[in-house]
Structure 1
Amino acid sequence: MNPRPSIDELFSLGGSLARELPGFEPRPGQLEMARAVEAGFESGSHVLVEAGTGVGKSFAYLVPALRSGKRVVISTSTITLQQQLFRKDIPMVARALGLEPRVVLLKGRANYLCREKWERARGDLALVERPEISKLRRWANETITGDRSDVPFRLDSLLWERFDADGDDCIGEACAHFDDCFYYRRRRDAEAADIIVVNHAIFFIDAIAGGLLPAYDYAILDEAHTCEDIAMNVLTASLSRRSIDRTFRRLRRYFTLPTSLTAQVDERYRELGETLAGTGNELLRLDERPEIAGDLDRLRDALYHLENWIADNGASALTRPPRGDLEREMRISGAVKSLAAQAEVVDRLLAVDDDSIRWAQSSVHGSELHCTPFDAAPILRDLLFARTPCLLTSATLALGGDFSYVRARLGIDRAEELVADSPFDYREQARLFVAPPDLEPDDPDFVVRAYALLEEALAYSRGRAFVLCTSFRRANEFGERLRASGLHPVEVQRPRSGLDRDGLLRWFTETPGAVLVGTRTFWEGIDMPGERLSCVVIDRIPFAQPDHPVLEARVQALRERGEDAFARLQIPAATMLLKQGFGRLIRSRSDRGAVLVLDGRLQGKGYGKRMIAALPPATRIAHLDELQEFFQT
């Protein structure tokens, strides 16, 4: 029997990876990371790795994971990486290692077709007459996954909601399709799997509340820079017109609801919205406006009345006869639970405690209310990191080699840490220009002066640029000027109109010399190698909105403890996001390009110099005309 090869042998030029994978070449950072990950598996310890772009972090953790013999959950932030891991990377590494692991990609319930809801909708004439239904019918008859991502055409979200496997509609074992349910079949597959690929939302829901994933030995969190935000979203209770409307849509599919009681809920929420709008603030903490408590009390009473009505009258209010007593009981129980969940959110919004921040956001599109934990770290420490060893990796996880910020934010007390440097030659491949120190985003003439720099840079790069902004307002200001110039094809991301993110990326890929002006969603998670993207422009240092209630509460708490909140909280968070924006540029050894930061504070302030030091080591230029020769060579 041949001895088991070492990690070094596997990643060598003569190793099994090189024999199996065309174009494989040893990378020092990849090998260093693979050693650290394997040590983490063997010792059962946490491992934090900042893996620079091009390190090949997926293979660096997949090789130790697949040969560990342990059940491993791999969680990512983006669908793109999930699909890449499941369809490409894991099969390639498994072949190279001579293994046949059982691998399952498990998504959230709403991603799967519900056979019962699809069957139920057949007689709905309003649906039958919609043109996309005939295409959906052909797909539904042929699909073996029931996965929405496999639908070969664009599908309206509200239409898909009519057929998804959402938990509010599910009656579990009482359903005639339970045995062949797409979602539960995936759950059963996961029970027998060696590797389970999920997204961060599912991972943290399971870590916090349980019930979604089988027991596992080790977790790998890729794109880990997003973990705090996603965990906070999972921990936040929210109430909105949209969430109430969604609850009513789902209830009306199975029950005839009394108009008087649903109208009462609508009226109470309308009154709440008017109170919030009357404050004149887009963002506010609820403890600053005690009168809102009365509106919330009345809304909760209205929800209770409807909940009690269904509990008492649900059997006679069902829109079609149930298949048996169990289905009837499950339908009524599910309806009561969905309304109770809305009332529970109101309870959390009314509660006063030091561990939560209760806040509201109002706009012309309506109001949303939220109850957010003050800090996710204690919760994640107790429910996840004190129990399960994890690898966390991302291209942006440390600040100058220091992981203390991310450990503090997530509640990780001890971990093995590694910075695996990128193999790219940033000094040769990239240029960095920072606006002069006297150009600051709040200056009255900022847009005029910043646009002049932007236009000059785009002339040298011949378009081929992302302009990354921190607000839709600033994106529109730059977009209007770029369009008026007529020098480059331009598209601007808009909050509720125009092309969506995928559509904008397709347009950019297909349009020579394109300039895409976008906001936060384009700062991360986009891989655009080659000449199509040769310039990334960042409008300002991406500090969080200073008057956001959650940030205000955290800043206040740090100040009360005598700590520098700006240095402890705001600078590290902005630096992480700045690194993400920079990271859109150089994606391969052959890429060349320039990053422009139009915020002069980056070189005029002391913290700006520390931020620059945390970025990849591109060659700094003092004058934009230096780009002319750079782009010509």
Structure 2
Amino acid sequence: VGAVPGGAARPGQQQMATAIEECVASGDHLLVQAGTGTGKSLAYLAPALTVDGPVVVSTATLALQSQLVEHDLPRLADAVEPVLGRRPTFAVLKGRHHYLCLARLENSNEDEPEDTLFDAPTERPGGGAKWLGEAGRLGKQIQRLRDWAMETDTGDRDELDPGVDDQSWRLVSMPARECVGASRCPYGAECFAEASRARAREADIVVTNHSLLAVDMLAGRHIVPPHKLLVVDEAHELADRVSSAAQAELTPELIDRSARRARPLLRPETAEALTASGDALAVGLAEAPAGRITDGLPDPLRNACTLLDAATRAALDGIGDIKADDPDPVRKQQAKSVLDELSTTAQRLLDEAEHDVAWVERNDNTGRRALVVAPLSVAGTLATHLYDERTVVATSATLALGGRFDTVARALGLDAPPPTPPTPA
């Protein structure tokens, strides 16, 4: 590791690199506390280059991701190229919504009423001057995104400078659950998100984030390329990100939007049943106090979830399967995905599983109210999905408590290890 230009040998760094190499060979998992000055990034990147196939590094913060991609990995590639006889490659893998979606961009001026991009020209009092309001501002940003789409190679939002606001970006990006898939999308061959995954499959080291790693685990591990070594840096943040990914909520506004989006595909009575379930949820939330639900769902909320479950199932049946000759498979998939998510959440709330907790959120400033469900603990989820068929190295500056890793091991779904002396920093 000390061979990196401008670097210096660090015993703690070398010890960490050796421990990782040994765990890769044995198939064991590793918890490493590495304090400031250890140089942990290079300590796990160097042995990663000896692994057959891609190595995945997951971080919690954009700052560390940028440090890896812009500084540590290029320096390491420079240092090892003469030794390996080739230059190691690396790629960044982000969630689908980070990339421009050409299918959404094409339809960005045909979206829901509240997303209309251009105001009708309006005269100011006392004069004939025209002005563009909020929708006009959105229109300008969308036009800039259209221009950028003609020149960008990656479609990565982080490369758009200056950027656009979240409202504009939502109109031109596609959440993973709403994506129809490259094979059924008219822009599948040009998809920026698919291209990023293709680059990741070919890279030696793939840098991603805890949120996408969590989604990948919960979705059956088909997003991140298959790999033998996973390095979880800033590992103390992982459980919270998995918990967030496993959390779901119902709001009247979400149900109303899904009903309007699906309405052109449904019989009037089916669409009305969806709208009625949203109204029932609004009534139930207005009566329920904020906070955790401890004695089962109150009847008004239970009734709303029951109505929503029945309405979404009927709507999904009404829309039917997406076929190759569908005139607009993208919009059909968007409608189905939101309905399916609502149905799953309603069923989950009605099940009242012991491993879940539900609560009512209330924001008096915005008037927003939501019924939320989340796992009590994600340790079991991590134990089931994180460690299978790969070696996992979890590292952070703060993992051990009193020189022991028992607490973090339990939180990350690992059996508590025997007493271990602190890793030298």
Aligned Cα RMSD in Å? 3.0
Q: Distance in 2 between matches of 1:147 and 1:418?
A: 43
Are residues 415 and 178 of structure 1, via their aligned partners in 2, closer, same or farther at CA, if it must alter by over 3 Å?
farther
* 1:367 counterpart (366, 369, 372): 369
- Contact 2:100–2:155 (CA under 8 A) maintained in structure 1: yes
Q: Which amino acid in 1 is paired with 2:205? A: I
Q: Which amino acid in 1 is paired with 2:20? A: V
Give the match for residue 270 of structure 1.
Answer: 282
Task: Work out the number of aligned pairs and report it.
Answer: 392
* Residue aligned with 2:346, SS: helix
Gaps of 5+ in 1: 1-9, 316-321, 423-633
Q: Does 1:193 align with 2:194?
A: no
- Contact 2:180–2:333 (CA under 8 A) maintained in structure 1: no
Give the match for residue 387 of structure 2.
Answer: 385
- Contact 2:400–2:408 (CA under 8 A) maintained in structure 1: yes
Tell me by how many angstroms 1:293 deviates: 3.9
Q: Which amino acid in 1 is paired with 2:176? A: G
Give the match for residue 38 of structure 2.
Answer: 55
Tell me by how many angstroms 1:214 deviates: 2.3
- Contact 1:51–1:419 (CA under 8 A) maintained in structure 2: no
Q: Distance in 2 between matches of 1:87 and 1:249?
A: 44
**CA-to-aligned-CA distance 1:592-629 (integer Å, 9 cap, x gap):** xxxxxxxxxxxxxxxxxxxxxxxxxxxxxxxxxxxxxx
Q: Distance in 1 between matches of 2:49 and 2:260?
A: 44
Relative CO higher for 1 or 2, CA cutoff 8 Å, sep ≥ 6?
Answer: 2
Q: Distance in 2 between matches of 1:213 and 1:184?
A: 12
Are residues 144 and 387 of structure 1, via their aligned partners in 2, closer, same or farther at CA, if it must alter by over 3 Å?
same
Are residues 240 and 146 of structure 1, via their aligned partners in 2, closer, same or farther at CA, if it must alter by over 3 Å?
same
* 2:295 counterpart (265, 274, 288): 288
Tell me by how many angstroms 1:90 deviates: 1.2
Tell me by how many angstroms 1:380 deviates: 1.5
Tell me by how many angstroms 1:305 deviates: 2.8
Tell me by how many angstroms 1:228 deviates: 1.2
Are residues 203 and 125 of structure 1, via their aligned partners in 2, closer, same or farther at CA, if it must alter by over 3 Å?
closer
Q: Which amino acid in 2 is paired with 1:284? A: R
- Contact 1:307–1:336 (CA under 8 A) maintained in structure 2: no
- Contact 2:233–2:395 (CA under 8 A) maintained in structure 1: yes
**CA-to-aligned-CA distance 1:374-397 (integer Å, 9 cap, x gap):** 332222112222542110011111
* Residue aligned with 1:68, SS: coil
Give the match for residue 133 of structure 1.
Answer: 142
Give the match for residue 568 of structure 1.
Answer: none
Tell me by how many angstroms 1:116 deviates: 1.3
**CA-to-aligned-CA distance 1:15-67 (integer Å, 9 cap, x gap):** x21xx2x3x22223222222222222222211111111222111111111123
* 1:179 counterpart (177, 189, 198): 189
Q: Distance in 2 between matches of 1:247 and 1:55?
A: 50
Q: Distance in 2 between matches of 1:349 and 1:235?
A: 13
* Residue aligned with 1:63, SS: helix
Determine what percentage of the aligned residue pairs are the same residue.
Answer: 31
Give the match for residue 398 of structure 2.
Answer: 396
Are residues 233 and 257 of structure 1, via their aligned partners in 2, closer, same or farther at CA, if it must alter by over 3 Å?
farther
Q: Based on CA coordinates, which of the two structures has the bigger radius of gyration?
A: 1
**CA-to-aligned-CA distance 1:563-615 (integer Å, 9 cap, x gap):** xxxxxxxxxxxxxxxxxxxxxxxxxxxxxxxxxxxxxxxxxxxxxxxxxxxxx
- Contact 2:404–2:422 (CA under 8 A) maintained in structure 1: no
Tell me by how many angstroms 1:117 deviates: 1.3
Give the match for residue 238 of structure 1.
Answer: 249
Q: Does 1:72 align with 2:72?
A: no
TM-score by length of 2: 0.82
Q: Distance in 1 between matches of 2:61 and 2:277?
A: 36
Give the match for residue 339 of structure 1.
Answer: 339
- Contact 1:48–1:418 (CA under 8 A) maintained in structure 2: no
* 2:412 counterpart (410, 416, 433): 410
Q: Which amino acid in 2 is paired with 1:88? A: H
Give the match for residue 148 of structure 1.
Answer: 157
Tell me by how many angstroms 1:330 deviates: 6.4
* Residue aligned with 1:121, SS: coil
Q: Which amino acid in 2 is paired with 1:145? A: T
Give the match for residue 580 of structure 1.
Answer: none
- Contact 1:74–1:196 (CA under 8 A) maintained in structure 2: yes
Q: Does 1:325 align with 2:297?
A: no
TM-score by length of 1: 0.57
